[in-house]
Amino acid sequence: MQYSVVDATDRGHARSDDRSIAGAGIGLRHCHLEQVLRERPPVPWLELLADNHLAAGGLEHAGLEAISVRYPLTLHCVGMNLAGCDPLDHKYLRQIIQLRERTGAAWVSDHLCFTAHNRRHYHELLPFPYTEEALRHVSERVLAVQDLLQAPLVVENVSAYLRFADSSLSEAEFLAALTHATDCELLLDLNNLYVNHVNHGDDVDAYLAALPLARVREVHLAGHAVKPGYLLDAHNDRVSPPVWALFRRLVQALPEVPVLIEWDNDIPALPVLLAEAERARTERATALAARTSAAGVAADGRTQTAESVSPC
């Protein structure tokens, strides 16, 4: 694949500032990179799964350079091992910083989990007990990462299939305390929230009430797989109706929050992903219009008609 040089309409290499990340974007995967460069679909921003782009050189670099001058970008990581007890991997973090410099990504996110122990990497987002000890530990590591990034880290809630008897905090309380201790920001994955609601009976109202919504920098939407007795956060399907309902509810509180469609397994044709992003745009618009309409009705002294916000 050959990549052409930047044309006059391109963005140049300026960093995507926070304001340039707006509306409904998609997670860019390798299989769509060439098509996105060729067809330049009108998606407002893209998110790179950073761990897929750690090549030292080659076509990878040329492709990302071409993408980064055409679209505002963010970086999403899975390897910082934020809750892990191994030392932070500075080589990995340097690679992420270099990738951010090369792509001008607006921000960097990773997950509230551990991924490695005793130098064995599991390539999974593994849960841990939400305790005061863990909060101090994760806070120190987030602060260290932020020192290196010279920017706030954006931390994502995860789907968890295990819970620990020792946990003294809910995930939302833990994230709230983490933002307080580190000034980090949040990536709220609504599919993860829904999966945990189904798998563990988590109270969505309590979760959203405990989370400092003002710190939510980005929202993720994805599909899940229905397994016998549980939901699997498989990122292999369209966003499910209950997750759309959660999104409509969230935008009442965060009308401008950037939202991203994630799809990592059984990846469909690019138009399917773009259609999901377009649906996110219309779902937001519809929800906000309903809010305005309801407010108008309420102002008239008649019955409030806002949509029910129950996700299930």
Write out the residues near another protein by the rule CB under 8 A.
Answer: 1, 51, 54-62, 78-79, 81, 83-85, 89, 92, 95, 114-124, 126-129, 131, 133-134, 137, 161-167, 197-201, 228-232, 312
CB of 97 to another protein, least distance (A): 15
CB of 246 to another protein, least distance (A): 16
Is 199 within 8 Å of 226 (Cβ atoms)?
no
CB of 125 to another protein, least distance (A): 9
Partners of 260 in beta bridges? 25, 220
CB of 258 to another protein, least distance (A): 26
Looking at the Cβ atoms of 92 and 212, the one nearer to another protein is: 92
Looking at the Cβ atoms of 24 and 195, the one nearer to another protein is: 195
As a three-state string, the secondary structure of 42-65 is CCCCEEEEHHHHCCCCCHHHHHHH
Residue 253's alpha-carbon distances to 141, 209, 228, 305, in angstroms, are 30, 11, 34, 17
Find, among 168, 157, 163, the residue nearest to 246 by Cα.
157
CB of 59 to another protein, least distance (A): 4
Structure-token match 């029910």, residue found: 308
Looking at the Cβ atoms of 120 and 302, the one nearer to another protein is: 120
CB of 7 to another protein, least distance (A): 21
The pair phi, psi for residue 165, each rounded to 5°, is -60, -25
Both structure tokens of 262: 């994630």
CB atoms within 10 A of CB 202: 19
| CA 228 to chain CA centroid, nearest Å | 27
Looking at the Cβ atoms of 89 and 283, the one nearer to another protein is: 89
Looking at the Cβ atoms of 13 and 121, the one nearer to another protein is: 121
Contacts for 36 with CB less than 8 Å, ≥ 6 apart: 28, 46, 67, 71, 270
CB of 281 to another protein, least distance (A): 30
Both structure tokens of 301: 């002294």
Contacts for 56 with CB less than 8 Å, ≥ 6 apart: none
Is 152 within 8 Å of 116 (Cβ atoms)?
no
Looking at the Cβ atoms of 226 and 272, the one nearer to another protein is: 226
Looking at the Cβ atoms of 59 and 213, the one nearer to another protein is: 59
